[in-house]
């Protein structure tokens, strides 16, 4: 009978380049991805801020303080929406790249998130509709805070506007909270057409 010799312990000196490279390369690649993502987010936010500042300067003193305030509100809303969209998009790309470097099967993860996204999209359909309608309402300057409007279920002064909802106070003091996606028509009594 032949005695089997125990296996010799692995000699790390023989495999130094392989494991050292694995310890250095992966964290370095992840750090570069995170750094590039942060720089891209900062750059996008600066570009958005410059665009919004340029749009805000398009009014003149003849337009009056109310139109300047309305334009500033629209610009601020557009800036926050664009900043959020760019931050989320860049962050998602960076997370996928980092997971790929860590050896996670990204294709399976993306497919799973796609199915979950469809379910979430169907469930949040009215909320997304409200946000899109609110964004277009703000960008098109259909009405603003202080305007007297008629939006079907409510007529009165606009006291609050957000991407999701418009709050109107009627003549009796009742506050009406109307989701932007349900507003089919708007009559703005504060804006008169000058001919």
Query: How distant, in Å, are the alpha carbons of 130, 167, 171 from that of 174?
Result: 22, 10, 7
pLDDT of residue 175: 92
Residues 106 and 100 sit within 8 Å (Cβ to Cβ): yes
Q: Is the pLDDT score of 62 beyond 60?
A: no
Instruction: Show the tokens assigned to 57.
Output: 């300067």
Q: Rank 15-19, 79-83, 117-121, 133-137 by mean pLDDT and report only the highest.
A: 133-137
Q: Rank 137-146, 160-169, 171-180, 183-192 by mean pLDDT and report only the highest.
A: 171-180
pLDDT bin (cut points 50, 70, 90) of residue 43 is: very high
pLDDT of residue 195: 42
**Across 37-46, 56-65, 92-101, 105-114, least confident range:** 56-65
DSSP H or E stretch at residue 100:
helix 65-101
Mean pLDDT of the chain: 78
Q: 72 or 46: whose pLDDT is higher?
A: 46
Instruction: Show the tokens assigned to 177.
Output: 């909270």
pLDDT bin (cut points 50, 70, 90) of residue 194 is: very low
Residues 168 and 151 sit within 8 Å (Cβ to Cβ): yes
DSSP string, 10-42: P-TTTTHHHHHHHHHHHHHHHHHHHHHHHHHHH
pLDDT bin (cut points 50, 70, 90) of residue 131 is: confident
Q: What is the mean pLDDT of residues 131-135?
A: 83
């Amino acid at each position: 009978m032949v005695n089997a010799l125990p296996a010799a312990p692995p000699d790390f000196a023989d495999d130094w380049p392989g494991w050292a490279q694995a310890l250095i390369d992966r964290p370095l690649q992840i750090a570069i991805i995170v750094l590039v993502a942060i720089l891209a987010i900062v750059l996008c936010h600066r570009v958005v801020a410059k665009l919004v500042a340029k749009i805000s300067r398009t009014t003149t003193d003849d337009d009056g303080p109310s139109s300047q305030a309305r334009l500033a509100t629209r610009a601020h809303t557009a800036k926050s929406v664009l900043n959020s969209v760019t931050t989320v998009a860049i962050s998602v790309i960076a997370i996928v790249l980092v997971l790929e470097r860590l050896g996670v099967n990204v294709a399976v993860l993306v497919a799973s998130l796609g199915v979950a996204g469809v379910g979430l999209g169907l469930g949040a359909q009215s909320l997304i509709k409200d946000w899109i309608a609110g964004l277009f309402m703000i960008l098109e300057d259909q009405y603003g805070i202080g305007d007297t409007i008629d939006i079907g279920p409510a007529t009165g002064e606009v006291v609050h506007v957000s991407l999701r909802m418009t709050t109107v106070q009627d003549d009796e003091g009742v506050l009406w909270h109307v989701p932007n996606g349900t507003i089919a028509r708007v009559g703005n009594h504060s804006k008169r057409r000058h001919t």
